[in-house]
Chain A
């Protein structure tokens, strides 16, 4: 018995989960602080959660150069997971910055909101560093459960209720598929560890041609593709993105999506690498389908939040192109793109938060008529984010797409790259239409004075600076992304 305990303790290595551990402890402490603070006072909670994220970032930063594995190979703290950890931390920090004034405006100044964002980030970090199907599943659920609540956070708003409930039902449904896939793969290989799965699958063609392995892979992929909102599993995304509180929509389309991508890449490239011939073709088709669906449906959206939701679907399609390419530049391109997308998307949503009135009825194309003249500075900042989403140089969106399509060309997927570029051209229409309304239409009603709340303003300015920096000097971050490959 003593021996058993000893072996178990030797396998535990807290250094491997240090960043998520720190953030989880901060989250729980904050939950207590929220309970004991005055109702409606959330500013200090927001500040403390930013402090928590900073501390976690520092802990993660110190771990950059020493690879840690722990818990009998269930988690690993490598550069890949750390790169994604930074993406999640940035997404969470920017979201928290824009939330305080938003929550007050909409009448829900509740501290638990920030704690849920922190827990969601913890889940994402566990997902990115999990090297066992169990760890990835637990991370995914920690992330999803917090997000279900956040999407339905405005209890009195039917729109938010509906978004939360839709997300919950479809999310739980897709979890079922994911788990069944994991169960079948476990049945074929006899292990849940990603590296060991690869060893078993690549040991003989009899095992990798086993239909149970293929069905398992299919179900597993379905579960993940649902979380990333790849067509044809995207139907929930526009509704949930439109109904959820705006900062949460921004967060959802950046952080958790990157987390699902991280886990998907780890599973497909590490454990299912020997089946690459099988999944490559399927993902090729899905990438094209996703880009086309997202871009073409976005063309006739008048609600800007919903338009950005469809654009987010299309962007997941672009990122999937990098995974299909599965070479060095393609995969590091995906990492780079996730970071770039975090900044440009959250930047655009933060401008929406600033421009929106209570209830957000004015966030339509008509509501933005004349916006560029009434609020020139915000107009320019929103335009830079939109240009980046289009993929116009010198912005982050351009370099990200460039790397991803270069990866596809390198791997010989010429048509995939051509279709991707054509799709970006289609997307010009709906992004530019916002700018046409901003600069070439007369406002339909008098503009209220938009008060520049400090948190949101900092969030917008930081995002735009990062978008331009990543666009003009992509080399540094790209070399980090290349180092982060496993």
Chain B
């Protein structure tokens, strides 16, 4: 029997994996994929909770998150292309022009 706890633990694990990925990966696209993993972990939490509480709000929230994530991907990849054109790299360590 799969209970709410299973879903919550799974989504917490996915969220943590995403966070670790953002902090350790060097390629901006992989970092962005890790962010998407975090968002999907949140989606899973919302859906599990929504079904557990018998309340639709959580599922509606997930629609909004998916829409926004799609828009974010469009903007983010465009910014990465602009950066790549000037720098020939999307390595996070090459974000080095601005520092103190």
Contact = CB atoms under 8 A, between A and B. Distances in A.
11 contacts: A138-B64, A141-B71, A166-B98, A168-B75, A169-B22, A175-B72, A176-B18, A179-B65, A180-B45, A186-B57, A191-B57
A307 B87 CA distance: 27
A80 interface: no
B21 to A, nearest CB: 10
B90 to A, nearest CB: 8
Given A138-B64, A183-B45, 20 more contacts: A137-B61, A145-B72, A148-B79, A149-B78, A149-B79, A162-B97, A166-B98, A168-B79, A169-B28, A173-B35, A175-B72, A176-B39, A180-B38, A180-B41, A182-B61, A183-B61, A191-B57, A243-B97, A243-B98, A301-B100
Given A161-B86, A162-B98, A165-B80, A134 B55 contact: no
Interface string B72-100: 10011011101101110000100101111
A214 to B, nearest CB: 15
A133 B52 CA distance: 19
Contact of B15 (A149, A176, A239): A176
Contact of B32 (A134, A163, A172): A172
A259 B36 CA distance: 25
B97 A187 contact: no
B49 A180 contact: no
A166 B80 CA distance: 10
A173 B32 CA distance: 8
Most buried by A among B46, B82, B85, B87: B82
A156 B57 CA distance: 43
Most buried by A among B8, B32, B35, B64: B35
Contacts of A297: 100
Interface of A: 133-134, 137-138, 141, 145, 148-149, 152, 155-159, 161-166, 168-169, 172-173, 175-176, 179-180, 182-184, 186-187, 190-192, 238-239, 242-243, 297, 301, 306
A157 B8 CA distance: 44
B53 A190 contact: yes
Interface of B: 8, 15, 18-19, 22, 28, 31-32, 35, 38-39, 41-42, 45-46, 49, 52-53, 55, 57-58, 60-61, 64-65, 68, 71-72, 75-76, 78-80, 82-83, 85-87, 92, 95, 97-100
Contacts of B80: 165
A161 B72 contact: no
Nearest to A167: B79
3 smallest beta-carbon distances between A and B, as pairs: A176-B38, A239-B98, A183-B45
Contacts of B55: 190-191
Contacts of A173: 22, 35, 38
Nearest to B31: A169
A190 B52 CA distance: 10
Contacts, number: 128
B98 A134 contact: no
Most buried by B among A159, A162, A172: A172
Nearest to A155: B82
A485 to B, nearest CB: 28
Contacts of A164: 79, 82-83
Contacts of A162: 83, 95, 97-98
B35 A172 contact: yes
A134 B61 contact: yes
Contact of A180 (B15, B58, B60, B64): B15
B1 to A, nearest CB: 20
Nearest to A144: B72
Contacts of A158: 83, 86-87, 97
A156 B81 CA distance: 11
B26 to A, nearest CB: 12
Contact of B28 (A165, A179, A183): A165
Contact of B42 (A141, A180, A239): A180
A176 B100 contact: no
Contact of A169 (B35, B46, B61, B97): B35
A229 B71 CA distance: 23
Contacts of A184: 45
A192 B49 contact: no
Contacts of B49: 183, 186-187
Contacts of B87: 158, 161
A419 to B, nearest CB: 24
A159 B95 CA distance: 9
Contacts of A243: 97-98
Contacts of B61: 133-134, 137, 182-183, 186, 192
B99 A239 contact: yes
A149 B75 CA distance: 7
A236 B87 CA distance: 20
A109 B85 CA distance: 20
Nearest to A138: B64
A315 B71 CA distance: 32
Most buried by A among B45, B46, B75: B75
A186 B58 contact: yes
Contact of A161 (B45, B79, B99): B79
